[in-house]
Chains A and B, each alone.
Chain A
Amino acid sequence: GDSVTQMEGPVTLSEEAFLTINCTYTATGYPSLFWYVQYPGEGLQLLLKATKADDKGSNKGFEATYRKETTSFHLEKGSVQVSDSAVYFCALSDKGQGAQKLVFGQGTRLTINP
């Protein structure tokens, strides 16, 4: 079945450092890809998405490009802030499946130190 594999955490960086969180996927169809973020004590929030190959999703300085050839959707940010500390989830939704459910990776906890 469909699956998502994320970079193992936790990840700890200093403020203004460059961030990459790796995500690869396995899907039978042509999925849409997502990054969700979960701040402490809050629900999951959609950070960005891409619906087809070579699309780039971006939001709040974060970017991720849908790479069909490498089945990847790595999350990047050029300069992280303390407020970016959260758990990040990569997810896919396979358009071929009628229910359109989200399949999540295991999450990567990011801590940014001042």
Chain B
Amino acid sequence: EAGVAQSPRYKIIEKRQSVAFWCNPISGHATLYWYQQILGQGPKLLIQFQNNGVVDDSQLPKDRFSAERLKGVDSTLKIQPAKLEDSAVYLCASSSQIGTDGYTFGSGTRLTVV
């Protein structure tokens, strides 16, 4: 089966600009996750969707980050305006149920804010 697709692979922006990342999960996977991985740290959950509803967004900086999953399939994560500390790899993952047994991660988008 095809994996989790993410784009772009790399993005460089200036601070205060906006940026958007796209994720297409594995077909049929109801649960979609966005994680932020800062260099030298483990991934941290930003937001979890079940179909097109938000399950957990407690660690999403809502003043600048937003995410949507229209129609319960692909998802976009947006940052506006970006700060230097947002430089990280943004990972998307999907699973077929609420649980971690079926987690599949995408290759990520590496964001550099200058």
Contact = CB atoms under 8 A, between A and B. Distances in A.
Contacts of B44: 104
B43 A104 contact: yes
Interface string B76-114: 000000000000000101000011110101111000000
B55 A46 contact: no
B93 to A, nearest CB: 8
Given A101-B33, A101-B56, A106-B40, A43 B45 contact: no
B56 A99 contact: yes
Interface centre among A89, A99, A104, A105 (most CB of B within 10 A): A99
B41 A102 contact: no
B107 A43 contact: yes
Interface of B: 3-4, 33, 40-45, 48, 55-56, 91, 93, 98-101, 103, 105-108
Interface of A: 4, 32, 34, 41-46, 49, 89, 91, 93, 98-107
